[in-house]
Amino acid sequence: MNSSDPRKPRLAVLISGGGTNLQAMLDRSAAGTLDAEIAVVLSDNPEAFGLKRAERAGIPALHIDYKISAQSPVKQAERFVDLADLDRRQKIIKNPDPSERLARLARLVLAERELALRIEAFRPDYVCLAGFMRLLSPYFIGHMNHEGPKIINIHPALLPAFPGRSGYEDTFQYGCKWGGVTVHFVDEGEDTGPIIAQAVYPVWPGEDIEKIRNRGLSLEYEVYSQVINWLAAGHVAIKRGPGGRPRVEITDPDYAAIVAGWVRKAL
């Protein structure tokens, strides 16, 4: 496995934890049903079990250290980025103290530069976030997206409902009767990028959060792999919607049948 096929898009997969989405991709890749090559797996967490999953599959597995201990991070970051401009554009670090905010942003950018360099060495076509728990600054996003949207994420809720880290918990606590999962392009906001695909699952009376999470996760595996296959086949078109917001259209003639299959499976 992991033999280079020039026709297949190359993926860099970013994880922070268990990596069951990664495992689903690895399994589909081994079974020949993922139309992409997983070129490298990276994690901000050296203990992430997902790194072991990658190693077991013979795929480079790299740790990127986000604990930047530089003495003057602002000065260092300013060597390659206009930090004041980045601070004006960023929406993720909300510390009201400007010097503390700049120092945090600088440390983030220093870690992201390392991340970007490591990723680029593997020449991926797409960067797939799969349980990567770090927020990305406009520096990293701009760097990766200079030739068009390249970073995609799986989110455990039906966006724009319940952005953030606890999609399943939020869905459950709110008392939703349906939950969902979303794969989207990453933009500079938190879980606000153009939606590529979504699927829903029912929440039946008396079910607990574990049941909900497991049902959602198995849907995540299906939807994420399908989106990768759509990208590989050139079935993901980005258009301008009303108000200028970019929106995705899936041009696969089997789109409706595939979505109906997800709903049937979840019921």
The residues annotated as belonging to the active site are 155
Q: Which of 73, 131, 138, 180 binds ligand GRF (CB under 6 A)?
A: 131
- Find where tokens 């991709």 sit: 25
Beta carbon nearer to ligand GRF, 81 or 200? 200
- Nearest residue (beta carbon) to ligand GRF: 131
Contact between 179 and ligand GRF (CB under 6 A)?
Answer: no
Question: Which residues, 6 or more positions from 245, have their beta carbon under 8 angstroms from its beta carbon?
Answer: 194
Task: Report phi then psi at 218, rounded to 5.
Answer: -65, -30
Question: DSSP E strands: which ranges in the chain?
Answer: 10-15, 37-43, 61-63, 126-129, 151-155, 178-185, 195-202, 236-240, 246-250
Number of neighbouring beta carbons within 10 Å of residue 117: 11
Q: Which of 12, 14, 21, 112 binds ligand GRF (CB under 6 A)?
A: 21
Beta carbon nearer to ligand GRF, 66 or 76? 66
> Over the range 20-32, which residues count as b (16 or more CB within 10 Å of their CB) and which as e?
bbbbbbbebbeee
Instruction: Compute the least distance from the CB of residue 216 to ligand GRF, in Å.
Output: 7
Tell me the torsion sign for CA atoms 87, 93, 97, 100: negative
- Each residue 194-223 as x (binds ligand GRF by CB under 6 A) or -, in order, gives -----------------------x--x---
Instruction: Number of residues interacting with ligand GRF: please give it, by CB under 6 A.
Output: 13
Beta carbon nearer to ligand GRF, 217 or 258? 217
Of 18-26, 57-65, 67-75, 247-255, the window that binds ligand GRF (rule: CB under 6 A) is 18-26
- Find where tokens 């390659």 sit: 80
Q: Which of 19, 73, 124, 179 binds ligand GRF (CB under 6 A)?
A: 19
Indicate the burial class of 169 (C-beta count within 10 angstroms; 0-12, 13-18, 19 or more): middle
Contact between 17 and ligand GRF (CB under 6 A)?
Answer: yes
Instruction: Compute the least distance from the CB of residue 241 to ligand GRF, in Å.
Output: 25
Beta carbon nearer to ligand GRF, 68 or 133? 133
Whole-number Å distance between alpha carbons of 84 and 157: 34
Beta carbon nearer to ligand GRF, 97 or 208? 208
Q: Using alpha carbons, select from 189, 157, 193, 191 the residue that is nearest to residue 174.
A: 157
Contact between 130 and ligand GRF (CB under 6 A)?
Answer: yes
Of 13-21, 67-75, 172-180, 248-256, the window that binds ligand GRF (rule: CB under 6 A) is 13-21
Contact between 18 and ligand GRF (CB under 6 A)?
Answer: yes
DSSP-derived secondary structure for 160-185:
TSS-SS-HHHHHHHHT-SEEEEEEEE
- Find where tokens 């049937």 sit: 264
Footprint on this chain of ligand GRF (rule: CB under 6 A): 15, 17-21, 130-131, 154-156, 217, 220
